[in-house]
Structure 1
């Protein structure tokens, strides 16, 4: 079997496409494998609109970055024809290994999207040997395509929260559908506060959901979030999410501990003992500290019991 035929099998090429030649450039670092693809003279190609086999009108050369061949970067080059369709006129065909307008093959983009879920895009770019700007174009394309398929017409309840995405007070606000168990994230936007809720409102309207259909919103205790929800989702009941309630009480317990420690000595292990939940594993010192706090009526012990009663409320 010829080397070109082996590469064709590896690429999954089907007629009329075949590997015409291959060349390994060892003068570059990393080395580059160049595969030239093409078809026999006189071959016909499917019209990109109707699929009818048509003759080539003219050709233009394109190159795509493919998955590495061992440790070598791999590039595919082909003269891609425009065909003359009796019904749709002259159009550029769609090659089976890449989407229109992309400089990467579909398999390369698939790997990029998988890696981008697990690590920063800049890290992915360094790993695959390209720029993060080029990868962001790929990611933005597939995110936009996925967003087109999102149906929010039945949205009734959503939750929102902001999280830091970069240093220097850079935030992103994420919205989730509370009724979805699988892939609940339905919107994300840069920034935090009132304007993000307005952007979300505009987004769901574009997806066929009237804001008055939303009956419940879950968020933290941010004043800007609360005001925005009341303005843009007037029919919704606002609920403070459980995490932030516990966080508020935990902070209060720690404040009580700090104040009491200035007036009397607290048992060793108190700090981390009261910050952990009752069911969370503790060291022996922390467990003994909690027992002493509760048995001797320390204010910190009382505050801790109040915090733990929240668990009963949730049940």
Structure 2
């Protein structure tokens, strides 16, 4: 077996032929290669062309490091004549067009960046961190170039902070496939309008059947304006959070009015009032029932909160609507101002709250994806730009499996 064949076997080259190799400096291993069977193809249409000339200067592509050596592939590309596109440089089968790294390097880089920091990935690949960041951005941009969102029927919209100084990004989710389909700068109406105007066609907007978001006027207004066939469902989590805030408002009012001895009875109630009835112990329930004599206003707020939990169990819209009307009437008669304000909010978004009964739709999937996005952000100790953050979002929870777009024969571990 010749030395060239041994190098090809050891490095597991596929789709190319080794014609020479040598060591350069202290850490570079240069392998001269040429396409095997699939050379002289047009990069635009893939048709074979006639060789016009061979480039005088060889080009190099960085490959994955082996045994501490940086491997470079070297080849003199050929200019060909394509019947359709004229005079072009042949497509390189082991690397993307205009790329300076191989597909195999890109695949390993993408897999590393999914599970570790870019700094750690750069150390393993033996390149500067800034270089890895640039290559990562170009690779993700190339793979996602021309990508169109398809089959979008259920969307979720939420915002996330990506930097200090109240800098936010708006994320749009496909709740059916549990992935992020779009990221935009800011959280205002203008931001989400960009998604509906520039990313989705009129046909796609008509295909959206369900949309879930919090009680943001910007998100709700955009959904109503752009998605004529979509039913808006307000997120259950944010409604429950607003109710808990109202109950805690009653507790705070009573705490401020209470004296020294009365405060002892109210101490430690904050998190106890937040708990769902299914997670409370018998002792916790007895403590709350004792408020009927100790502080009747907090007791009434707690009872109304517990009664509202029943709303989420209804399956029939008419029964849920009847319950909601009865509950809001009781809350208004309670003479508890924080709860009266909550009822006002509830009535403003009445149909969005009732829509939950038919859809059972929540932003739980979006919140779960947000958690992964925050882990990525914390792992990197933050991002300087939204573009870098967006790259990592698409790489980890995007609607395209980016490493899977690398040709199969170049996927290695």
Into which bin does the TM-score normalised by the smaller protein fall? 0.7 to 0.9
CA distance in 2, matches of 1:217, 1:119: 33
**Displaced runs of 4+ in structure 1, greater than 6 A?**
none
Q: Which has the higher strand share?
A: 1
| Corresponding residue SS for 2:96 | coil
Q: Specify whether residues 87 and 140 from structure 1 end up closer, same or farther in structure 2 by C-alpha distance, changes over 3 A only.
A: closer
CA distance in 2, matches of 1:64, 1:8: 16
Residue in structure 2 matched with residue 174 of structure 1 by the alignment: 171
Residues 294 and 302 of structure 1 are in contact (CA less than 8 Å); yes or no, is this contact kept in structure 2?
A: no
CA distance in 2, matches of 1:51, 1:125: 37
Query: Normalising to structure 2: TM-score of the pair?
Result: 0.61
CA distance in 1, matches of 2:25, 2:63: 15
The structural deviation recorded for 1:18 is: 0.8
Residues 39 and 92 of structure 2 are in contact (CA less than 8 Å); yes or no, is this contact kept in structure 1?
A: no
| Corresponding residue SS for 2:77 | strand
CA distance in 2, matches of 1:256, 1:274: 11
Query: Normalising to structure 1: TM-score of the pair?
Result: 0.78
Quick check: 1:57 aligned with 2:65? no
Residue in structure 1 matched with residue 25 of structure 2 by the alignment: 25
Residue in structure 1 matched with residue 273 of structure 2 by the alignment: 274
Residue in structure 2 matched with residue 188 of structure 1 by the alignment: 183
Q: Which has the higher helix share?
A: 2
Q: Specify whether residues 73 and 170 from structure 1 end up closer, same or farther in structure 2 by C-alpha distance, changes over 3 A only.
A: farther
Residues 45 and 83 of structure 1 are in contact (CA less than 8 Å); yes or no, is this contact kept in structure 2?
A: no
Residues 57 and 90 of structure 1 are in contact (CA less than 8 Å); yes or no, is this contact kept in structure 2?
A: no
* CA deviations over 1:77-101 (Å, ceiling 9, x no partner): 2222223456764432222221111
CA distance in 1, matches of 2:226, 2:65: 50
Residues 44 and 55 of structure 1 are in contact (CA less than 8 Å); yes or no, is this contact kept in structure 2?
A: no
CA distance in 2, matches of 1:277, 1:294: 15
Residues 33 and 75 of structure 1 are in contact (CA less than 8 Å); yes or no, is this contact kept in structure 2?
A: yes
Structure 2, unaligned stretches of length 5 or more?
Answer: 314-413
CA distance in 2, matches of 1:107, 1:44: 18
CA distance in 2, matches of 1:302, 1:73: 71
| Corresponding residue SS for 1:112 | helix
**Which residue among 48, 71, 74 is the counterpart of 1:74?**
71
Residue in structure 1 matched with residue 141 of structure 2 by the alignment: 140
CA RMSD of aligned residues (A): 3.3
Quick check: 1:292 aligned with 2:292? no
The structural deviation recorded for 1:123 is: 6.4
Residue in structure 1 matched with residue 162 of structure 2 by the alignment: 165
Q: Specify whether residues 113 and 81 from structure 1 end up closer, same or farther in structure 2 by C-alpha distance, changes over 3 A only.
A: same
CA distance in 2, matches of 1:312, 1:191: 36
Quick check: 1:36 aligned with 2:34? no
Q: How many residues align?
A: 297
Structure 1, unaligned stretches of length 5 or more?
Answer: 27-31
Higher RCO, Cα 8 Å, sep 6+? 2
Residues 218 and 241 of structure 1 are in contact (CA less than 8 Å); yes or no, is this contact kept in structure 2?
A: yes
**Which residue among 94, 102, 107 is the counterpart of 1:105?**
102
Residues 7 and 19 of structure 1 are in contact (CA less than 8 Å); yes or no, is this contact kept in structure 2?
A: no
